[in-house]
Amino acid sequence: MLKITNLKKTFNPNTVNQKIAMDNVNLHLEKGDFVTIIGSNGAGKSTLFNLIGGCFLSDEGQILLDGKDITFMKEHKRAAHIGRLFQDPLKGTAPSMTIEENLALCYMRSNKKILGIGVSKKEKELFRERLAQLDLGLEDRMKSKMGLLSGGQRQAVTLLMSTLVAPKLLLLDEHTAALDPATADKVLNITKEIVQEHKITTMMITHNMQSSLDLGNRTIMMDSGRVILDIKGKARSQMTVPDLLELFKKESNKELDNDRMLLAK
């Protein structure tokens, strides 16, 4: 479904600030896979997402999505097939527009519809139905400005916007990291429900090592622009966080020194 082959990216090449951000990465996801991705700062997690999403292009390698080569496809064209949520709840929405208007813009873009005047009755019914599934009471606040919502509410609506028309691939870039624990759990539960309902192929960056083992069906660990661990099946179901730390040490020849990951509950 997603096939990445020999992907390479170097920033500031041939200078004192040269940084190899992606070091010959190979990765293959089947349709419906839910992959959690962990790694310390600078491991290459967000760079991988930016390359898949088209924020910038790779130096070498190939990215195939559902059999189509998107390696050099423009970012706005990829957006019709790839949904993405960021750590910052303020990204991805228009704060001065209403919930209804934000959903309508996303729905029209995903369906490649021409922007029309107003929102149809059928679309309003769809938006209300999908908002009700969030169980946040937002179906009765469709005329509220996005900027008036809490961080958790906004992130939940952004998730809904990204999956209103099920994308081929959903990228979740630490999308609960800026939320308080209770709200983060709520958004994670909504994420699981939406992904399972629509069988969306998903990649999720997380700093929480326990969540990386509890969510989805596969865990990847990155370090220095490389995939150093790819765990699934029985081995993953029996794995603990200490096991994961020991594997990291074995594969990278160093201790994990990211306090944010080590202290996350």
DSSP string, the chain: -EEEEEEEEEESTTSTT-EEEEEEEEEEE-TT-EEEEE--TTSSHHHHHHHHHTSS--SEEEEEETTEE-TT--HHHHTTTEEEE-SSTTTTS-TTSBHHHHHHHHHHHHTTPPP-SS--HHHHHHHHHHHHTTTSSGGG-TTSBGGGS-HHHHHHHHHHHHHSS--SEEEEESTTTTS-HHHHHHHHHHHHHHHHHHT-EEEEE-S-HHHHHHSSSEEEEEETTEEEEEEEHHHHHT--HHHHHHHHHHHHSS----HHHHH--
Q: From CA 56, how far away is CA 71, in angstroms rounded?
A: 10
| Strands ordered across the beta sheet of 226-232 | 82-85, 169-173, 201-205, 34-38, 218-223, 226-232
Return the pLDDT at 120.
Answer: 86
Q: What's the Cα-to-Cα distance from 176 to each of 26, 165, 211, 212, rounded to whole Å?
A: 27, 22, 11, 13
The per-residue pLDDT for 263 is: 55
Q: Where are the domains of the chain?
A: 2-81+167-263, 95-166
Q: What is the pLDDT of residue 54?
A: 97
* Angle made by CA atoms 76, 77, 79, in degrees to the nearest 5: 65
Between the two ends of the chain, the Cα-to-Cα distance in Å is: 32
Whole-prediction pTM: 0.93
CATH class name, domain 2-81+167-263: alpha beta
pLDDT tens for the 265 residues of the chain, in order: 999 999 999 999 999 999 999 999 999 999 999 999 999 889 999 999 999 999 999 999 999 999 999 999 999 899 889 999 999 888 888 999 999 999 998 888 766 655 555 688 899 999 999 999 999 999 999 999 999 999 999 999 999 999 998 999 999 999 999 899 888 999 999 999 999 999 999 999 999 999 999 999 999 999 999 999 999 999 999 999 999 999 998 998 887 766 556 555 5
pLDDT of residue 71: 97
Ramachandran angles phi, psi of 219, nearest 5°? -125, 130
Of 30, 55, 56, 61, nearest to 169 (Cα)?
A: 30
Contact 42, 259 (CB under 8 A): no
Q: Which amino acid is at 89?
A: P
pLDDT at 258: 61
Q: Do the beta carbons of residue 33 and residue 1 sit within 8 Å?
A: yes
